Amino acid sequence: MNKFEALGLDARLVRATSEMGYEQPTAIQEQAIPVLISGTKDFIGLAQTGTGKTAAYALPLLQLIQPSPLHPQALVVCPTRELCLQIVKEIDAFKKYLPGLSAVAVYGGSSIVLQIKDIKRGVQLVVATPGRLIDLIERKAIALDKIQYVVLDEADEMLNMGFQEDIEFILKNTPARESTWLFSATMPAEIRKVSKKYMNQPKEVTIGKVNTANASIDHQYYVTSAHHRYETLKRIIDFNPGIYGIVFTRTKADAQEICDRLTREGYDIDALHGDLSQPQREKVMGQFRDKSLQLLIATDVAARGIDVAGISHVINYELPDDAEVYTHRSGRTGRAGNQGICISIVHAREMYKFRQIEKLSNTRFHKLDIPTGKDVCRKQFFHFMDKLLLADISHGDYETYVPMLTEKFADISKEEVLKRVAAMEFDRFLKYYENAGDLNVREKEKSSKSSGKAGSQDFQSGGRGDSRKGFAKGGGTGYRRLFVNLGTKDGFYKASFLQFILDLSDLKKEVLGKIDMKDMNSWVEVEKGAAQQMIRAIDGKKYRGRSIRMNDADNRPPFSGKHQSSK
Ligand code: AMP
C-alpha cells in the first residue's frame, strides 16, 4: 500500500501526490494527516517551513470539504503574498482529480476587484493574507458564515508582522468555525494566548526542536548618548555597505526628519509613515522591494504587514515601549531560513527599558562597540574592492578600449591606478571620518562588575571628538537641571510637555536629558549650552493665564510648591 494511502487519504489525492513525486510522507504529514482527517477539531503543528506542512493540512482539507455548497468552507490564513500563491499552487496540484473543488488566493498588492470576481465565481477554499481578507470582509465581498475550517499557517510570522488583532478579528468572524488548525515554527507566548482563547484542547504535534525566539536573528545593541543617535545610525549604515534594511522610529516626525537628513547626505532611503497616501506608500514599497532603496525608515504602524524578502538588518533607532513591538520589528529580518541582524541604538538612560525587553522577549542581546571612523573606512574600502573584483566585464565592449587604455596608463603603475580608483571612491568617506569621535557610552568598570540592578549602571561616553562627555547618574555634567512650575495637573504628559517647551524655545529635542514630571512641577535637564536660551524663552511666559517660572533647579529661590496665579 502506498504510504499516503496508509494515512487514510482518498485514492484521488494519493494519485495526485504520487504524480507530484511525493513518495513518502514527511514527519509532519505522517503525524497530522490521520489525526486531521479523522475529525480532530483543534490542532497545533509545530514545524519549520520546508517540512511539508502545507500538504499536512491541505490534503486533509481537500478530503473534508465538499463540492457543494459552492461556498467558502475552509480558510487558510498565511502571512505573505508569496506563501499565499505557493499554497494555492500546491492545492491546485493536489485537487487535480477532485472535480468541482476550487481554491482562490487573496492577498494585498494586487487587484482586489479581480479577486472579488474570483470569489463570486464560487469557491470552497480561500487562502488569504490577513490584511486583504479583512478588506474583503469589510466590503462584504466574502461570506465567512459557512467556514468550518480555519488554518493559521506560519502563525508566528503573522504575529511578528503585527497581524495579531487581524487574526483575532478573523477568528471572531467565522461563526460556523468548528476546527482551527494552527501551524507555526516557534511557539511564543502570544500564540499560546491565541490558542487558549480560540481553540479547545488542541492536539499538539511537534516536529524537531521548537524555539521561542527566532534563532536566525542576531540581536545586537550599541550604547550611545541621546544626542549621538543620528551619528550612530549613520555609522552603522556606513559600516554595513551592503545593508538592505528597515530603520524603525517611534514617531512620524522622527521618521521624516531622519529620512530628510539621510537623503540630503546621499543615502538611498525613503520614509514610510501614516501620512502617506496609498499610492505614495505603494511607490515607496515598490522601490524598496526592487532595491532601488537600500533603506526604509518606518514607524511601527506604517510597517505593519510589510513583507519583503531578504531584509538584512532591522535597526531600532529608538527602542519600542514593549517587548512585543520589539519582536514585531525584529521579525522583519531572518526569515525563510536567512540570517538577519536586529540592531538597537540604546541611550544610556534607556538601559532599564532595554533589559526589560531582553527579558520579556526571551532574547539574548550582544553589545557591540560603535565602529570608529577607521573601522568604517576599512570596511567600505574592502567592500568596494570586492565589488571591483566581481564587476561583470563579460558583456561590455571593453575589449575595444583596452589598447587605448593601455596607452593612456602606460606610465602609471598598477598600484597607482588602484590608489586613484580608491581615492575617487573614498575621499568623501575619508574626509568625513578623518576626525570622527568615539560615539560609545561605556559602562564604568565598577558598575559592570557589581551592578546586577538593571538601570542603575553608570556610563561614561567615549573620548576624542565628543564634546559632551557623558553624564553621571542623577544629573549630567553636560546638562543643567531646570525647574518649571508646570506639571501633569496642568494637563501635560511627558511628550506634550516636551513639545511645548521645545516649541517655545525653538530648540531641538537632542538638547534635552532626563525629565521628571510631578503634579505641579517638573525638572528638565537641558544641555549647558542651550539652557539659557530655554530659560529666556520660557520664564515669564503665560500658560493658561498663569506665569511660567523656569530657573536653575539647583540654584533657585525658595518656592512654596503651590501654583501662583497671575491674576
Ligand atoms: P512546505 O513545508 O509545505 O513549504 O513544503 C516544502 C517543499 O517540500 C514543497 O516544495 C513541497 O512540494 C515539498 N514536499 C512536501 N511534502 C513532500 C513529500 N512528502 N515528498 C516530497 N516533497 C514534499
pLDDT digits (tens, 9 = 90+) for 182-234: 999 878 778 888 999 999 999 999 887 655 455 678 899 999 988 899 999 99
Q: What is the pLDDT of residue 210?
A: 57
Please tell me the distance from the alpha carbon of residue 439 to that of residue 162, in angstroms, as a whole number: 33
Q: What is the pLDDT of residue 472?
A: 28
Q: Residue 136: CB partners within 8 Å, gap ≥ 6?
A: 106, 112, 115, 116, 119, 128, 142
Paired sense of beta strands 546-547 and 512-517, if any:
unpaired
- Residue 41's pLDDT band (boundaries 50, 70, 90)? very high
Q: What is the pLDDT of residue 443?
A: 63
Q: What is the pLDDT of residue 557?
A: 43
> 34, 111 in Cβ contact below 8 A?
no
* 249 has pLDDT over 60: yes
Paired sense of beta strands 550-552 and 479-484, if any:
antiparallel
Q: What is the pLDDT of residue 217?
A: 83
Nearest protein Cα to ligand 1, atom 21 = 22
Expressed in angstroms and rounded, the spacing between residue 464 Cα and the centre of ligand 1 is 57
Please tell me the distance from the alpha carbon of residue 49 to that of residue 184, in angstroms, as a whole number: 8
| 3-class DSSP assignment, residue 342 | strand
Quick one: which of 547, 558, 544, 549 has its CA closest to 524?
Answer: 549
Q: What is the pLDDT of residue 337?
A: 63
Determine what percent of the chain is predicted with pLDDT higher than 90.
39
Q: What is the pLDDT of residue 142?
A: 94
Expressed in angstroms and rounded, the spacing between residue 462 Cα and the centre of ligand 1 is 53
* 479 has pLDDT over 50: yes
* 333 has pLDDT over 80: yes
* 558 has pLDDT over 90: no
> Mutation test of ligand 1: which of 26, 86, 91, 153 has the most ligand atoms closer than 8 Å to its C-beta?
26
* 349 has pLDDT over 90: no
Expressed in angstroms and rounded, the spacing between residue 33 Cα and the centre of ligand 1 is 14
For 296-306, write each residue's pLDDT tens digit.
999 888 887 77
For 480-536, write each residue's pLDDT tens digit.
889 999 987 787 777 778 878 888 888 887 888 888 888 888 889 898 889 999 999
| 3-class DSSP assignment, residue 115 | helix
Q: What is the mean pLDDT of residues 76-82?
A: 89
Expressed in angstroms and rounded, the spacing between residue 49 Cα and the centre of ligand 1 is 9
- Residue 555's pLDDT band (boundaries 50, 70, 90)? low
Nearest protein Cα to ligand 1, atom 19 = 25
For 43-67, write each residue's pLDDT tens digit.
999 987 778 899 999 999 999 999 9
Q: What is the pLDDT of residue 474?
A: 35
Phi-psi region of 52 (alpha: psi -120 to 50; beta: other; left: phi over 0): left
88 φ, ψ (degrees, to nearest 5): -65, -35
Nearest protein Cα to ligand 1, atom 18 = 22
Q: Residue 36: CB partners within 8 Å, gap ≥ 6?
A: 43, 56, 57, 60, 64, 181
Please tell me the distance from the alpha carbon of residue 105 to that of residue 126, in angstroms, as a whole number: 6
Expressed in angstroms and rounded, the spacing between residue 92 Cα and the centre of ligand 1 is 14
* 466 has pLDDT over 80: no
Bridge partners (DSSP) of residue 46 are 184, 206
Q: Which atom of ligand 1 is nearest to the CA of 54?
A: 3
What global pTM score does this model have?
0.56
| Pocket, ligand 1, Cβ cutoff 6 A | 22, 25-26, 29, 49-55
Please tell me the distance from the alpha carbon of residue 179 to that of residue 188, in angstroms, as a whole number: 22
* 473 has pLDDT over 50: no
Q: What is the pLDDT of residue 137?
A: 92
Radius of gyration of the chain (CA): 29
Q: 361 or 368, which is more confident?
A: 368
DSSP secondary structure of 404-430? HHHHHTTTS-HHHHHHHHHHHHHHHHH
For 86-121, write each residue's pLDDT tens digit.
899 999 999 999 999 999 999 987 889 999 999 999
Q: What would the 3-class secondary structure string for 146-199 be?
A: CCCEEEECCHHHHHHCCCHHHHHHHHHCCCCCCEEEEEECCCCHHHHHHHHHHC
Please tell me the distance from the alpha carbon of residue 152 to that of residue 400, in angstroms, as a whole number: 59
The three grid cell numbers given for residue 17, joined into one nine-digit string:
501526490
Q: Which atom of ligand 1 is nearest to the CA of 49?
A: 2
Please tell me the distance from the alpha carbon of residue 73 to that of residue 504, in angstroms, as a whole number: 60
Q: 546 or 409, which is more confident?
A: 409
Q: Which atom of ligand 1 is nearest to the CA of 50?
A: 2
Expressed in angstroms and rounded, the spacing between residue 66 Cα and the centre of ligand 1 is 25
For 393-434, write each residue's pLDDT tens digit.
887 788 888 889 899 999 999 999 888 888 887 777 778 887
414 φ, ψ (degrees, to nearest 5): -60, -40
Q: What is the mean pLDDT of residues 267-295?
A: 85
* 38 has pLDDT over 90: yes
Sheet strands side by side (includes 245-249)? 269-272, 295-299, 245-249, 313-316, 340-347, 217-224, 365-367
Please tell me the distance from the alpha carbon of residue 208 to that of residue 191, in angstroms, as a whole number: 18
Nearest protein Cα to ligand 1, atom 6 = 50
Mean pLDDT score across all residues of the chain = 84
> 154, 183 in Cβ contact below 8 A?
yes
> 518, 488 in Cβ contact below 8 A?
yes
> Mutation test of ligand 1: which of 19, 22, 89 has the most ligand atoms closer than 8 Å to its C-beta?
22
Please tell me the distance from the alpha carbon of residue 162 to that of residue 306, in angstroms, as a whole number: 9
